[in-house]
Amino acid sequence: MGGGGPHVVVVGAGSTGAAIAHDLALRGFAVTVVERGEVGSGTTGRNHGLLHSGARYAVTDPVAARECIEENLILRKIMPEGLELNGGYFIALTPEDMDFRQTFLEGCEAAGIPTRELTKEQLLRMEPRLSPKILGGVMVPDGVFEPYRFCLSFLASAQARGARVLTYHEVEGVLVEGGRTRGVQVRDRIRGRELTITADAVVNAAGPWAAKVAATAGCRVPLILAPGVMIAVGVRYSHRVVNRLAPPGDGDIIVPQRFTSMIGTTSWTVQDADLIPIPPDHVERMMDAGEAFFPGFRRQPKRGVFAVARPLVGPEEDQAEGEGFERAVTRDFACKHHEAEGAAGLFSVTGGKTTTSRLMAEAVVDQVGRWLGFERPCQTRTEVLLPPRRFFTERVVS
Amino acid sequence: MSWRLTLKIHRWQPGDRAPYYDHFTVEVPEEAYVLDAIEKVWAEQDRSLAFRHACHHASCGSCGLRVNGREKLPCITPVTDYPNGSTIQIDPLRHFPLVRDLVVDMGPFSQAMEAVRFSIIRHASEGVPDARSSEPPILPEEDHEATRFENCLECGLCVSACPIAGSALNYLGPAALAAAERMLVEPRGVDPLAVWEAIDHDDGLWRCHGAFECSAACPSEVDPAAAIMRLRRYGPKVGQVARQQRR
């Protein structure tokens, strides 16, 4: 297995874990991924599928904006089988939105995001179903990915380099001896048996469950679990992604995909990510928001209503909660080495976005490699990923 | 208003001599989908239950199963499709290797899709032969030709619904044949002869008996049966032309 390097266990097969597994395998590590359910069954699977251009963050979070556009351009090259590349718009619905345009364009320029201003007439010609009440807009290089296949591509590529991907295997505990991480205790949910997997390091990429995984080793992962409601309808209203030309808020993005459109999202906080009840008023708000862009949206039959917790980077110490505070939290990510907490070799990753998961993986694997004394250059910027289906055709099951 | 259903769920794990059913009663909002009910059973009643799911909006195709014998994507099947207070039977897809409970192995299905070289990204407008050579510009022009994911979600519902797939183990199945038709209409850089040769045999295009169950089961507007019938009409000609071109 692998290229003779140290053995790293990755907990979680969402976009973060999948990209980390691929990066590790490409640098010659031996890799085992353990995932308690199906690939992408947590936060990643239920995300919006928006390949960010970064424009959404251009004004509020310039670092995230720059990362997004850089990763967007890389993914176009390494994921040829997984992207709808039609671009996106930021559209003004009110005079206040139009006033925001200059700030928005300056933010995009500073982050290196290409833009093109469009008049109301141009927009309505390109997207005839847009509300005639729109005032104007800006085109940006947004795109659409399929979250599930996004993960499968990374995992298929990792598998081709010897990684073992154990789905339906749940981590019950991170094993620590003498201040050092030795592996994980896992429940094989297929056969209903326990197994111990020894490892030189463990990367905890369990998303909203990362705090629970770390807690088994007596470690703390500061997390804010911030779900959002998304709704799909069975009509494709636009060729391109539609965003509201305004600072980030509720119901400001409609992502088209195949013959559907998906509106999102809201934001609130929860304590438990396992089962998230959908607040009915959020559904109403989303349908109204869709109606503002596309007359008739409200009356469309729904094709899925769902919410899942974003695992946002939380404060190190307890911090007072206030309305809307989770939106202000950076969309950046954190990789915490739990050495000071007595679990050297356990790394927990939180935050980030699927669009930037390759970059997160690069940073995490740099850190893990440095600590293990196995430093190899990252190669994921140019390595073209395998088609997602290969995950199933070339499965190496234990 | 809430909706109360009893889920009679298929259980089996490696080592079990025969599958059996467990009953779970759950209450969910009437706006919920069958997948929400299954997830609630897992979260609150039985953590050993294994089922597949990811996107919850009929995009990934991972959650396919049978409700009362009918192939469904439970993520878009409203609980109100079944009477309040009723019992619904949840079974895994047929004609797939069973892994556990409701989880099946997508390996053989994926191999069939690979055999016809199915690529899910279309770089063309409806019906226009592909021009994959031209890479889309980073910021598309106004008249840019749309790129689209193929409608096929590779969920496997059509294969489960197909009576032939149950009797002919090596049958390529409706999803792969429909995919082959798309690849012949829009080659996307793939050799059409290779696609034709992958389906022109007894376990391919000519095995279908025209039951049309696949098209009834498809949740994503693919209509595999119609694709198979079209292929039978023009496929041999496409194969012949491709063969002559190769010579």
Which tens digit of pLDDT belongs to each residue from B26-66? 999 999 999 999 999 999 999 999 999 999 999 999 999 99
Q: Is the pLDDT of residue B74 over 50?
A: yes
How many structural domains are present in chain A? 1
Q: Which two tokens stand for residue B48?
A: 């050993």
- The shortest CB-CB distance from A258 to any of B14, B62, B151 is to B151
| Contact present, A312 and A223 (Cβ < 8 Å) | yes
DSSP code of B212? Answer: -
CA torsion angle for B221, B223, B224, B227 (degrees, to 10)?
Answer: -120
Q: Is the pLDDT of residue B128 over 90?
A: no
Helices (H), chain A: 15-26, 62-78, 95-111, 120-126, 147-160, 210-215, 280-293, 325-328, 357-372, 390-393
* A39 domain-assigned: yes
Contact A190 B146 (CB under 8 A): no
Q: Which of A78, A85, A116, A255 to mutate to test the interface with B (most CBs of B within 10 A)?
A: A85
Weakest-pLDDT range from A23-27, A230-234, B63-67, B144-148? B144-148
Instruction: Name which of B160, B155, B149, B74 is nearest B119 in CA terms.
Output: B149
* Cα four-point dihedral sign B70, B76, B82, B88: positive
Contact list in B for residue A122 (CB cut-off 8 A) is 142
Backbone angles phi, psi at A246, to 5 degrees: -165, 165
* A61 domain-assigned: no
Q: Strands B148-149 and B121-122, how do they pair?
A: antiparallel
Q: How far is the alpha carbon of B53 from chain A, nearest alpha carbon, in Å?
A: 6
> What is the per-residue pLDDT for A327?
44
Rg (CA), chain A: 21
* A36 domain-assigned: yes
* A37 domain-assigned: yes
> What is the per-residue pLDDT for B83?
98
**Domain residue spans of chain B:** 2-103, 106-246
> What is the per-residue pLDDT for B127?
38
Under the banding of pLDDT at 50, 70 and 90, the label for residue B135 is low
Burial of B220 (0-12, 13-18, 19+ CB in 10 A): buried
Q: Which of A389, A390, A396, A397 to mutate to test the interface with B (most CBs of B within 10 A)?
A: A389
- Taking residues B116-143, what's their average pLDDT? 64
Q: How many whole angstroms separate alpha carbon A264 and alpha carbon A285?
A: 10
Query: Any idea what the CATH number is for the domain that residue A351 is in?
Result: 3.50.50.60
- How many Cβ contacts (< 8 angstroms) between chains A and B? 168
- The shortest CB-CB distance from B55 to any of A83, A148, A189 is to A148
Looking at this predicted complex, what is its ipTM? Answer: 0.95
Task: State chain A's maximal CA–CA distance in angstroms.
Answer: 68
Q: How far is the alpha carbon of B243 from chain A, nearest alpha carbon, in Å?
A: 28
Under the banding of pLDDT at 50, 70 and 90, the label for residue B238 is confident
> What is the per-residue pLDDT for A317?
57
- The shortest CB-CB distance from A275 to any of B40, B119, B121 is to B40
Under the banding of pLDDT at 50, 70 and 90, the label for residue B213 is very high
Q: How many whole angstroms separate alpha carbon B235 and alpha carbon A150?
A: 33
Q: Name the residue with higher pLDDT: B57 or A394.
A: B57
> What is the per-residue pLDDT for B190?
86
| Contact present, B65 and B90 (Cβ < 8 Å) | yes
- The shortest CB-CB distance from A259 to any of B118, B154, B221 is to B221
Weakest-pLDDT range from A88-102, A200-214, A328-342, B156-170? A328-342
- Taking residues A301-307, what's their average pLDDT? 96
CA A60 from centroid of its chain's CA atoms: 19
Weakest-pLDDT range from A9-13, A182-186, A323-327? A323-327
Q: Which residue of A has its CA nearest to B132?
A: A80
The overall average pLDDT reported for chain A is 93
Q: Is the pLDDT of residue A395 over 60?
A: yes
Weakest-pLDDT range from A124-138, A155-169, A306-320, B224-238? A306-320
User: The domain B2-103 belongs to what CATH superfamily?
Assistant: Beta-grasp domain (3.10.20.30)
Contact list in B for residue A192 (CB cut-off 8 A) is 13, 48
Q: Is the pLDDT of residue B131 over 50?
A: no
- Taking residues B130-155, what's their average pLDDT? 74
Q: How far is the alpha carbon of A191 from chain B, nearest alpha carbon, in Å?
A: 6
Q: How far is the alpha carbon of A80 from chain B, nearest alpha carbon, in Å?
A: 8
Q: Which two tokens stand for residue B105?
A: 């192995």
Which residues, in sequence order, are CB contacts of A95 under 8 Å at separation 6+?
Answer: A135
Q: Which domain holds residue A325?
A: 1-49+146-222+314-393
Q: Which two tokens stand for residue B179?
A: 């995919």
* A8 domain-assigned: yes
Q: Which two tokens stand for residue A385?
A: 């990923």
Contact A258 B53 (CB under 8 A): no
> What is the per-residue pLDDT for B246?
78
Contact list in A for residue B107 (CB cut-off 8 A) is 392-393, 395
* A233 domain-assigned: no
Q: What is the CATH number of domain B106-246?
A: 1.10.1060.10
> What is the per-residue pLDDT for A216?
98
